[in-house]
Amino acid sequence: MKNKILAFHTLGCKLNYSETASIAKHLQDAGYKVADFRDRADIYVINSCTVTRNAEKRCRELIRKARRNNPEAQVIIMGCYSQVNPEELTDISGVSMVLGNKGKFDLAARLAALPDTGVKPPSGKERLDTFVPAFSSDDRTRSFFKIQDGCDYTCTYCTIPRARGRSRSNTIRETLETARQIAGSDIKEVVLTGVNIGDFGKPHGESFFELLQNLAEMEELERIRLSSIEPDLLSDDIIGLVAAEPRLMPHFHIPLQSGSNAILEAMGRKYDRELFAGRVDKIRELLPYACIAADVITGFPGETEALFMESHDFIKAADLSYIHVFPYSERENTKASRMKDHVAPGVIRERSQKLQALSQEKKKKFVQANQGRKENVLWEKENLHGNMYGFTENYIRVKAPYDESKCNTIETVELNITDDRGVYIINP
């Protein structure tokens, strides 16, 4: 099988991306050739997502695309969609193998056993009881570092606990060993990823705060960025540590989901909007120029126009940098799917558009508030039409004329002029 060409495609979150990158690198190190998914390959591997119907639809579209690229190719589906509904994927023509969120880490062994005839091995739902660390290394600038997996929360709309299992992680000592591997590859920034990173360490009597303390002491890591962290797990200690430690980036992504307490309760969330507002206020107190993003779901069952406007007005008043808007997507076998008063698709679209417009207003205000400030930018390696791009510590995008010598370096710049997309232009 090692003379066969593999191509990977990742759907969903940064956690999926980190796992795909680790699996692909392992196969390359074992002697396999890896090509771009758009090119002709012998085996196409899709790391799937099941958060929304669209994610599952996109997976099925990619299966057809792979078969068009090479009708003789074998297609392997792994990840969350495979974990939750393997039977549905196995029945799709052209799919040779279906692996869940445990079996995908045995892909090399499975490939060795994969018959050239394309006969499908048995597939089924796997018991998710182990933690496998992962990190991306294909981008020499930034690495997505998986520190945690699974979730113990029981939100009424979510299938992720079924797709990923219970919350689990390595110990701090083991996690630091993986961090040293990343640091040794000349990567300047790590992004801590997981399903619920604030839950890190719980099986071992340790905490996410303790991990951050240890990571911040690693001189080899120049920048450490947090991915999404639940508001009930974002403590004053964590916020204070980010404010005090220069290696921890002033960037927070906090799921809100709704600005209405009635909807938060129906969603089964572990906080109210007052707690969320307190987290935002604490960040602004210690880090006035921090980037604070939030996730919001609109159109949840029972979200009346009045409750939507309550949520909208709360978000409008909150000092957020921008929001990610998700139209409610019904998932099978969730409590929310059995609730009454589902919102019409047209109404959900209208509400999503209104929240998107609010997000654009907030992002414009945030970018403008940074005008005239000096910020440290990590320059990325891509040459895009003669320009190079990077992000400030507080996650503002900037661009400059391409200069290969600056790739993967950190430069202090002054933020003055923006283009029509709100990207700061840095002149040499």
pLDDT digits (tens, 9 = 90+) for 45-88: 999 999 999 999 999 999 999 999 999 999 999 999 999 999 99
Backbone angles phi, psi at 391, to 5 degrees: -125, 140
- What's the pLDDT score for residue 2? 72
Q: Give the pLDDT mean for 144-173.
A: 96
- The count of domains in the chain is 3
Nearest-angstrom CA–CA distance, 289 and 292:
9
Same domain, yes or no: 138 and 283: yes
Q: Is residue 276, in this structure, part of any structural domain at all?
A: yes
CB 70 within 8 A of CB 42: yes
Across residues 172-180, what is the average pLDDT?
A: 97
Amino acid at site 296: V
Q: Are residues 234 and 357 in the same domain?
A: yes
Which pLDDT value is given to residue 70?
Answer: 95
In a domain, 399, yes or no: yes
Specify the pLDDT at position 1.
Answer: 63
3-state secondary structure of 62: helix
Same domain, 145 and 109: no
Same domain, 13 and 155: no
Domain with 16, as residue range(s), is: 5-113
Q: Which residue's entry shows tokens 């771009």?
A: 36
Average pLDDT, the chain: 94
Query: Between these two residues, 421 and 206, which has the higher pLDDT value?
Result: 206
In a domain, 162, yes or no: yes
pLDDT given for residue 297 in this prediction: 98
Domain boundary among the residues 84, 113, 142 is at 113
279: how many CB neighbours lie within 10 A of its CB? 24
362 belongs to a structural domain: yes
Whether residues 213 and 291 share a domain: the answer is yes
* H or E stretch at 301: none
pLDDT tens digits for range 247-290: 999 999 999 999 999 999 999 999 999 999 999 999 999 999 99
The answer to whether 258 touches 251, Cβ cutoff 8 Å, is no
Domain identity same for 64 and 172: no
Do 168 and 296 fall into the same domain? Answer: yes
Question: Of the candidates 354, 369, 384, which is a domain's last residue?
Answer: 369
Same structural domain for residues 335 and 393? no
pLDDT digits (tens, 9 = 90+) for 354-363: 999 999 999 9
Q: What is the CATH number of the domain that holds 99?
A: 3.40.50.2300
- pLDDT classification of 185: cutoffs 50, 70, 90: confident
Q: Does some domain include residue 230?
A: yes
User: What's the CATH number where 273 sits?
Assistant: 3.80.30.20
Q: Which of 369, 396, 415 is a domain's end point? A: 369
Summarize the confidence of residues 335-360 as an average pLDDT: 97
Instruction: Please give the pLDDT value at position 127.
Output: 81
Asked, for residue 124, whether it belongs to a domain, the answer is no
Average pLDDT estimate for 295-321: 98
Share of the chain above pLDDT 70, in %: 97
**How confident is the model at residue 139, as a pLDDT?**
73
Q: What percent of the chain has pLDDT above 90?
A: 88
Say whether both 254 and 393 belong to one domain.
no
Residue 122 is assigned to a structural domain of this protein? no
- Shared-domain flag, residues 56 and 103: yes
| 302 is a domain residue | yes
Contacts of 57 (CB under 8 A, 6+ apart): none
Regarding whether 231 and 99 lie in a shared domain, the answer is no
Please give the pLDDT value at position 428. Answer: 67
pLDDT in tens, 367-399: 999 999 999 999 999 999 999 999 999 999 999
Mean pLDDT of 142-147: 96
Using one digit for the tens of pLDDT, what is the confidence trace for 117-132?
555 655 556 788 899 9
Same domain, 315 and 346: yes
pLDDT (0 to 100) of residue 140: 74
b (16+ CB within 10 A) / e for 22-55: bbbbebeeeebebbebeeebbbbbbbbbbbbeeb
* Spatial separation of the C-alpha atoms in residues 186 and 251, rounded to whole Å: 22
User: What are 98-113's pLDDT values in tens digits?
Assistant: 999 999 999 998 888 7
